[in-house]
């Protein structure tokens, strides 16, 4: 089956079950609360009927929060797929053509991933064009 990206406003029970492998229960609850805000949607990566990557996407603010990919599927293009999907959505709607990804800049793994995407560091994360 093909790796796909999609957005949704609400999570069903199957999505929550898969996302429990990505986030702690507290993180998932916090992200669901944020997703309830206007203009914020889940962006999900799906492969073989399972959700293996997720984050919160705010189209109007052109921002991505909490992006994570399941450990066993990292380094296979899932994070890149989600970021590319968000960038594609922004280009259709927003004036700004950059995506802001909130992430700890001190994390070496994230820094390597963002460097591979040619992202520019900023105060609270990264800008990607």
In the prediction, which pLDDT does 16 show?
93
Taking the C-alpha atoms of residue 88 and residue 67, their distance in angstroms, rounded to an integer, is: 17
Residue 16's H or E segment, with its range, is helix 13-19
Report the pLDDT value the prediction gives residue 64, as an integer from 0 to 100.
86
CB 59 within 8 A of CB 89: yes
The model's pTM: 0.85
Half-sphere exposure of 82 (CA within 13 A, CB side): 30
Positions in the chain short of pLDDT 70: 1, 94-96, 103-109
pLDDT, residue 94, reads: 58
Using only the alpha carbons of the chain, give its radius of gyration.
14
Q: Please give the pLDDT value at position 57.
A: 92
């Amino acid at each position: 089956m093909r790796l796909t990206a999609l957005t949704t406003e609400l999570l069903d029970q199957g999505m929550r079950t898969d996302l429990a492998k990505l986030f702690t229960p507290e993180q998932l609850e916090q992200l669901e609360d944020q997703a309830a805000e206007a203009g914020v949607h889940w962006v999900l990566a799906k492969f073989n009927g399972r959700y293996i990557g997720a984050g919160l996407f705010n189209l109007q603010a052109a921002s991505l929060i909490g992006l994570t990919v399941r450990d066993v599927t990292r380094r296979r293009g899932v994070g890149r797929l989600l970021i590319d999907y968000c960038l594609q959505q922004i280009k259709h709607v927003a004036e700004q053509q950059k995506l802001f990804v909130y992430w700890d800049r001190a994390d070496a793994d994230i820094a390597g991933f963002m460097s591979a995407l040619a992202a520019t560091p900023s105060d609270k994360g990264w800008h990607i064009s």
